[in-house]
Amino acid sequence: MAVIDTIDIASAWRALALTQTEMTAMAAAAGVVILFGALVPTGLATFAWHTFSNLMAERRIRPVATPRIVDGDTLDDAATGIRYRLANIDAPETGDNAKCFRESERGEEAAATAAYLVSKAQTVTVRWTFRVDRYGRRVAFVQGDGADLGELLMARGLARPWRGKRVRWCGRKGGLVAIARRSRAACLCDLQGLDLVRALSEHGDLLEARVLQSLHHADDILIAHGHVGADVEAGV
Residue 209 domain boundaries:
175-233
Confidence (pLDDT) at 19: 65
Instruction: Count structural domains, the chain.
Output: 2
Which of the listed residues 168, 187, 211 is the one where a domain comes to its end?
168
Who wins on pLDDT, 77 or 189? 77
Same domain, 73 and 179: no
What one-character-per-residue DSSP string does 213-229 give? HHHHHHHHHHHHTT---
C-alpha 103/C-alpha 95 separation (Å) is 9
| Residue 39 parent element (H or E) | helix 20-39
Q: Which of 137, 168, 199 is the last residue of a domain?
A: 168
CA-angle at 157, arms to 151 and 160, nearest 5°? 60
Residues 63 and 132 in one domain: yes
Residues 153 and 223 in one domain: no
Q: What residues contact 184, with CB distance under 8 A and at least 6 apart? A: 214, 215, 218, 219, 222
* 208 in the same domain as 99: no
Check residues 121 and 10 and name the one with the higher pLDDT.
121
What mean pLDDT comes out for the span 75-85? 96
Dump pLDDT digits (tens) for 117-156: 999 999 999 999 988 888 999 999 999 999 999 999 999 9
Strand, helix or coil at 72?
Answer: coil
CA angle 133, 149, 191 (to 5 degrees): 130
Dihedral (CA of 191, 204, 120, 136) sign = positive
Co-location of 150 and 222 in the same domain: no
**Co-location of 107 and 7 in the same domain:** yes
CA atoms in the 13 A half-sphere facing the CB of 69 = 24
Pick from 70, 63, 54: nearest CA to 125: 63
End-of-domain residue from the set 128, 149, 168: 168
Secondary structure element (H or E) that encloses residue 84, with its range: strand 82-86
Same domain, residue pair 211 and 121: no
pLDDT reported for residue 84 = 97
CATH of residue 79's domain is 2.40.50.90
